[in-house]
Amino acid sequence: MGLLPPYYLWLPRKIKKILLYRFLFATLLCSWLDYQMLTIFVSVNLFELRRPLDSLTEILGWTLFSVYSSVLLILIRLSTMGFGLVLCHIHYVTPRCFRYNLLRISYEFPIRFWLISSILSTTIASSWLYASFVDLNNGNYLLGGSWYYLMTFGCFCGISYYHKSHERSLRRFPLPIVHLNMMECLLQIWCHHFKSSAKAAFVPTILFALIYWPTMGLLDTTELGGVSTGCFVIITQPQRLFQAWLLATLILAKLHIVRELYGLIMQRPLSLICDLRDLHEYIDISLFNLIWERFQYFICIMRMKPMPINAQRYNLSLPIAMALDTAEIYGFQLLAARDFYAAMSGSLCNKLFEKQFGQRNRYWNEVRDVIMGMLDRFLARMESCLEPAPRIKVSHLLKNKNPKKPGIRSLVKPTPPPRRLCATCRCFPSCQPPQKTWCFCNLRIYLYDRIQSCRNALWDILPVVPQYYSFLYELDPLANLNHELRCGEPLVWILQGLVTMCVRYLKEDKFYYIQNDLERIVVYLLKVEEKLIAAKEMQVRGKLCSSHDHFMMAINRCIYKILFTFGPHLDLIIDDYKLRDTFRRRMELLP
């Protein structure tokens, strides 16, 4: 338990199980992928058309029924699992606020370390396994054989993958635009990455062979003739190049597919339901429960009876409020928010409007309380970020705001650098230097001159240091604001879902459950918009993150939709006359 991150431990049991089962399923798919890769490599290298049955038996013997392969495959599976764990951690962990870059780098260092180690261990184990099948038939051991070549090339591929895909920033899995059929997605991912990896592996294979074989030839013979032997190997044994290309294709494809696969499975749609969260909070589901629930469901269908309500809870369905109230596990909350938005335009919204005993709709109340709570917290945090910022004076801006693009003149004339005095004559450089007659008496001056020029040269290099220093320690004035915006990003989808629900209310909510809360929702929308506009004004201090743009576009859409839909019914919905006026003024601004 100590190894698990705290955000996972705090989750309700049901969500924990959902994440666990999804992770295990993704790992299972990855291990199946290992077999596919191995089959491709081995059949391309070892299958002989002249004796198909015999070679097939041999291949099966070496792969499926061999202890050696099984052990290595377990190693590969473990390292892939580690890679998946790191990717999931990056996805689910809550964003942090870093006031300067060094803090971010030091925070990311252990994650990056585990990431690169898992990538390298996967590639090393895979290359080891594949390389051991290369020289089985007609082994050619010239210049150390293919084993070392493929091993080093495999590692090189792993490093280049890390460099290309994870070097810049640790990215979360992208949110799915729509959920497509899983099998179709898997097939698409498989085909797409094999194609792109096959293309991407081509140039590195040639470059690596051009470097590796001549170097090996040189090391082998310790004379220049070895280089030509190396080149000779490249020309006369193209199968080595082909094997390396195949290995690089498989390794790159595997690393890419594993990431996509974990992203796909962990972000499958959540089955959201309208139920009270208390009833699901402490339910601990297991595989046995799930199977039993399916069995009961089947029996009920056969008898044409409705399923007992208690039995319905022993599956992976989640109440909307429970799924949305997961601020501690950011990636999951984003998915829940997105699914909430999707569900609100589907049949789940109708269920939320269904008649319940008594006057209150408990499901809606629970969802509303969770969303309003989130909005309150977001607004309060935004308030605290926006408040302490003092207004920047225009004169200050004029002084400090240097144009970033080359070719644009600064608004203020730059102050000229202090003119340095010439070392030899202690006068301005424009004056004539004294005639250089070298003798013992001016040796001191000569030496002094040399030292001075060295110092100047050093001084010219030195600006790199402040650059690095400023990169690492420069304070980001909008760090807090950006952090809060990023933390609030699930609200982008939640608000859109809420507005979709409000718009549907006009036609479908026969029991007026939402009508009482409509005014509050509108007020919240206006408040969020106000805070976002205030945040935009802070842009002069630094760069706002992309979350602000997402927020701004979503809130504009929401307000437009609300104003357009409820404009004709203003007097019925809003009691506050001030708000009504604001509403009317906003309606005039509509395009």
Binding site for another protein (CB under 8 A): 174-181, 184, 187-188, 191-192, 195, 269, 301, 339, 342-343, 345-347, 405, 408, 496, 500, 536, 539, 549-550, 553-554, 556-557, 560-561, 564, 590-591
Helix (H) or strand (E) holding 343: helix 330-344
Task: Indicate the residue among 179 and 580 with the shorter CB distance to another protein.
Answer: 179
- Max CA separation in the chain (angstroms): 116
Task: Indicate the residue among 375 and 562 with the shorter CB distance to another protein.
Answer: 562
Task: Indicate the residue among 178 and 461 with the shorter CB distance to another protein.
Answer: 178
Task: Indicate the residue among 140 and 345 with the shorter CB distance to another protein.
Answer: 345
Q: Which amino acid is at 120?
A: L
Task: Indicate the residue among 360 and 557 with the shorter CB distance to another protein.
Answer: 557
Q: How far is the CB of 270 from another protein (least distance, A)?
A: 9
Angle at 367 between CA 362 and CA 372, to 5 degrees: 120
Task: Indicate the residue among 111 and 389 with the shorter CB distance to another protein.
Answer: 389
- Specify the residue for token string 């809550």: 94
- Tell me if 80 sits within 8 A of 34, measured CB to CB: yes
Q: How far is the CB of 342 from another protein (least distance, A)?
A: 4
Q: How long, in residues, is the chain?
A: 591
Q: How far is the CB of 536 from another protein (least distance, A)?
A: 8
Task: Indicate the residue among 308 and 346 with the shorter CB distance to another protein.
Answer: 346
Q: How far is the CB of 369 from another protein (least distance, A)?
A: 24
Q: How far is the CB of 512 from another protein (least distance, A)?
A: 23
Nearest-angstrom CA–CA distance, 16 and 20: 6
- Specify the residue for token string 């004539």: 432
Q: How far is the CB of 264 from another protein (least distance, A)?
A: 11
Task: Indicate the residue among 233 and 492 with the shorter CB distance to another protein.
Answer: 492
Buried b (16+ CB within 10 A) or exposed e, 349-364: beebbeeeeeeebebb
Instruction: Point out which residues pair with 423 in neighbouring strands.
Output: none
Q: How far is the CB of 263 from another protein (least distance, A)?
A: 12
Kindly report each contact of residues 338-341 with a partner whose C-beta sits within 8 Å and lies 24 or more positions away, as own/partner.
Answer: 338/175, 338/176, 338/493, 339/269, 339/270, 339/272, 340/272, 340/493, 340/494, 340/497, 341/493, 341/494, 341/496, 341/497, 341/500
Q: How far is the CB of 304 from another protein (least distance, A)?
A: 9
- Tell me if 86 sits within 8 A of 73, measured CB to CB: no
Task: Indicate the residue among 258 and 335 with the shorter CB distance to another protein.
Answer: 335
Concatenating the DSSP letter of every residue in 26-88 gives HHHHHHHHHHHHHHHHHHHHH--SSSHHHHHHHHHHHHTT-HHHHHHHHHHHHHHHHHHHHHH
Q: How far is the CB of 210 from another protein (least distance, A)?
A: 29
